[in-house]
Structure 1
Amino acid sequence: MKLTADQITEIKAFISKRGFTYPDVQLEIIDHVASRVEELMSNDHTLTLHQAISITHGEFGIMGFSVFEDSMISSLQKRFFKLFISIFSSYFHWKYLPAIAASVYLIDRFYVAINNPGYFVAGVFMALLITLVATGITYEVKYKKYNKMLTMRMGNSYVVICAVIYNLWNITLNQFKLYQKLSVSTAGLIFGVLIVLIILLFLVVDKLRKITISNCIELDEKYNLLSSL
């Protein structure tokens, strides 16, 4: 049987009282519980909604939904990581390799032309900072109500990888003056590879955010949870 809007509202109210931390985890739990309640009430037409909810809740044991929440968080993190690896790997398909190689070469030539590691690192840092700020403002304005989502926070954690890679280059090649032991072209190639890698990571994180937001919008349209937050 199909649950009515009022029945969905009751399920939402029941689950909302359990104090879940992340809206997307709560949406996933609502989706799971609603599906199970539908199944129970379809198999036994004598069951009331409250009885079906109680049975569903009892199936999680004495810890109730808290166990499911931990499981969902772990599941989302694993799914997010697998999706991250899948999207990142897709950018190394043969059809993208010429563009990647060309980008590395152009950065190398630009580095050689400037031939000043300090200025070059400062310029790249400013470009990355402007990109981060612009992206952050865009997401804050456009997807403000999704900022509390676990998936959004996990996406932000991958941005840290970009900063780590940049700082790794900055420390090894600039602060430790490692570039002095390398030819200008070699240092430029290394820098080009790292910059392209950072750009790819930004693209992957952006795509991940859009996918996860799309999934949550789909659930939100079904259960109308985030609209009330």
Structure 2
Amino acid sequence: MKLTKDQIEQLKKMISSKGYPYIDVQYEILDHVACKIEELMAHDPKLSLEAAFTKVHASFGIFGFSSLEESYEKTIQQKATKFTLEALVTIWTSWRIILPFGLTALFLGLAFFNQLFFGDSYIGSYLFAIGIFLILLHLITGRSWRSLKTYHQYAAARQSSPFAVLLYIGLYVAYTLLWHSSEIQWWNIASMSKEQWICIGIIFITFSLLLSVRKSIDHSIERTHKLQRLYETV
């Protein structure tokens, strides 16, 4: 038998009450559990939804859906890594390569003007760090600060957060090395040292990875949205 829309809503609340806060994990569990409950209720029409849910939950042992949650999070992580690499290749082999080039140019331009107005002062460094953080926040989420909370309700976004933070730190370190290694003469690119070119290369690669991570997260969230549409239109 097929579960009704009301039963699906009840089932979502039951799963959420077991302590699974991430939307994508909830829907992956729902997709798995709903099928088992439909089978149980088809064999025993008198079985209530609550009783069927209890049976299915008990079938996973004393840890309940925890093993299922762990399995899905590992799957999400594996898919995210695979899709990030695929997105990186797509960016570097298409017109989209102008995006990391453009962001690198923007980064260097902001850094140059920051250096021009503030020199080596701590105030300039702090302002630059905050400015780049806000740009990256929008770059990764594609959303405003207010909706960042919703974005982090997905396990895919949570797992990518430490990676994004490391990339941000890498950007700031590259900026520091670039502007404190030796003076850059912007009118004479040939005067730039090998170390400075390496720093610029790191900045370009970092922006490429950040764009790829965002695409990977959006891909994972889109799968969850498909499951949401599937179960909300029952």
The TM-score with structure 2 as length reference comes to: 0.69
Question: Using a 3 Å threshold, how does the CA distance of structure 1 residues 189 and 218 change in structure 2: closer, same or farther?
Answer: same
Alpha-carbon contact 2:174-2:200 (below 8 Å) kept: no
1:152 to 2:157 alignment? yes
Q: Which residue of 2 aligns with 1:166?
A: 171
Identity %: 25
Q: What CA distance in whole angstroms lies between the structure 2 residues aligned with 1:156 and 1:52?
A: 37
Shift of 1:82: 2.2
- Residue deviations 1:185-215, cap 9 Å, x none? 5344323312211221221122223223322
The alignment partner of 2:132 has SS state of helix
The alignment partner of 1:138 has SS state of coil
Q: What CA distance in whole angstroms lies between the structure 1 residues aligned with 2:60 and 2:204?
A: 46
CA RMSD of aligned residues (A): 4.1
Q: What CA distance in whole angstroms lies between the structure 1 residues aligned with 2:225 and 2:192?
A: 49
Q: How does 1:38-49 map to 2 (within 5 A)?
A: 38-42=38-42, 44=43, 46=45, 48=47, 49=49
79-88 vs 25-34, which deviates more?
Answer: 79-88
Q: What CA distance in whole angstroms lies between the structure 2 residues aligned with 1:130 and 1:105?
A: 15
Shift of 1:40: 3.8
Decide which of 187, 198, 209 is 1:190's aligned counterpart. Answer: 198
Q: What CA distance in whole angstroms lies between the structure 2 residues aligned with 1:9 and 1:101?
A: 43
Q: Which residue of 2 aligns with 1:6?
A: 6
- Residue deviations 1:32-78, cap 9 Å, x none? 10122224444x25462444323322321222112222222222222
Question: Using a 3 Å threshold, how does the CA distance of structure 1 residues 211 and 139 change in structure 2: closer, same or farther?
Answer: farther
- Residue deviations 1:114-163, cap 9 Å, x none? 9x899699697576234135456824345653432222222332321322
Q: Which residue of 2 aligns with 1:215?
A: 223
Q: What CA distance in whole angstroms lies between the structure 1 residues aligned with 2:100 and 2:218?
A: 27
* Alignment gaps of 5+ in structure 1: 225-229
Q: What CA distance in whole angstroms lies between the structure 1 residues aligned with 2:12 and 2:104?
A: 54
**Equivalent residue letter for 2:162:** S
* Alignment gaps of 5+ in structure 2: 185-189
Q: Which residue of 1 aligns with 2:135?
A: 131
Q: Give the total of aligned pairs.
A: 217
Q: What CA distance in whole angstroms lies between the structure 1 residues aligned with 2:5 and 2:69?
A: 24
Q: Which residue of 2 aligns with 1:91?
A: 91
Q: How does 1:33-72 map to 2 (within 5 A)?
A: 33-42=33-42, 44=43, 46=45, 48=47, 49-72=49-72
- Residue deviations 1:82-134, cap 9 Å, x none? 222222233233x4598599779979x98xx99x8996996975762341354
Question: Using a 3 Å threshold, how does the CA distance of structure 1 residues 8 and 165 change in structure 2: closer, same or farther?
Answer: same
Q: Which residue of 1 aligns with 2:212?
A: 204
**Equivalent residue letter for 2:145:** E
The alignment partner of 1:77 has SS state of helix
The TM-score with structure 1 as length reference comes to: 0.70
